Structure 1
């Protein structure tokens, strides 16, 4: 009976550790904001670094099903324009479908035009929201949305 109890406790501890293990985070994101011109135009450069062996889906992904990478930029004062220049990505075929992915490092420029108030472009921080899904050859992680602030 003691042996059975000991085995049960060991199994319970193993299950507890397995459930608390954090999922891998193979994607790192950084952003740099250029200076605005007199008309409030500036470029936000988003850099996504993906661990070797992993990929995220490009935008557009090119197939139905994969979740494409998206970038949304907002600020307290509405932006006049936001243009995200998604690179085409690399073609990848799996399970008979072809889709486009980003691997290693991808740089995505986002051109924005801020509202000009009293002759000066708004300088409030930008709120950047990025959504992506990371996969490797064995598994796809759940889609992830990250939100952060970028200031001058």
Structure 2
């Protein structure tokens, strides 16, 4: 009985220790604003912890994972153009041996949509890679659902 109790305690501490190791330095928030009866802009904001950054959508291959967006097909709306981003910071990264463009602190991506109904729910996924000065975390995918009223 004592061995079983010790084993359970060991497993419990191992699980707690492992979950404390998971880093999530990026949080995502979402909003939408109608700009006319038939058009709206969807805002997708990434906020990074101090020292962390995510990459632009426009990176060349051979470097870090660029941020990318995929939107679910819907009869309620149509995408207008591509997802836009503000001007990124660009520098030569010695690790990748190329110029890379990134965003620190926070960044707001925008996607214009044409509404086929008065309201819509824009669903999709964002895939991104986050790094700091000493390491990069594996690319991550986050689903979103944004109500346009």
User: TM-score band, normalised by the shorter chain?
Assistant: 0.7 to 0.9
Structure 2 CA distance for aligned equivalents of residues 47 and 16 of structure 1: 32
Report deviation, 1:87: 2.6
Residue 46, structure 1, aligned to residue 44, structure 2: yes
Structure 1 CA distance for aligned equivalents of residues 115 and 132 of structure 2: 38
1:73-84 aligned at under 5 Å gives the runs 73-74=71-72, 76-77=74-75, 79-82=77-80, 83-84=82-83
Aligned to 2:3: none
Report deviation, 1:91: 0.9
Report deviation, 1:150: 1.2
TM-score (norm 1): 0.76
1:60-75 aligned at under 5 Å gives the runs 60-62=58-60, 64-74=62-72
Bigger strand share:
2
Instruction: Please say if residues 62 and 100 of structure 1, whose CA atoms lie closer than 8 Å, have aligned partners that are also in contact.
Output: no
Gaps of 5+ in 1: 1-9, 116-120
Instruction: Please say if residues 76 and 120 of structure 2, whose CA atoms lie closer than 8 Å, have aligned partners that are also in contact.
Output: no
Residue 135, structure 1, aligned to residue 138, structure 2: no
The answer to which of 43-52 and 86-95 deviates more is 86-95
Aligned residues: 139
Instruction: Please say if residues 44 and 110 of structure 1, whose CA atoms lie closer than 8 Å, have aligned partners that are also in contact.
Output: yes
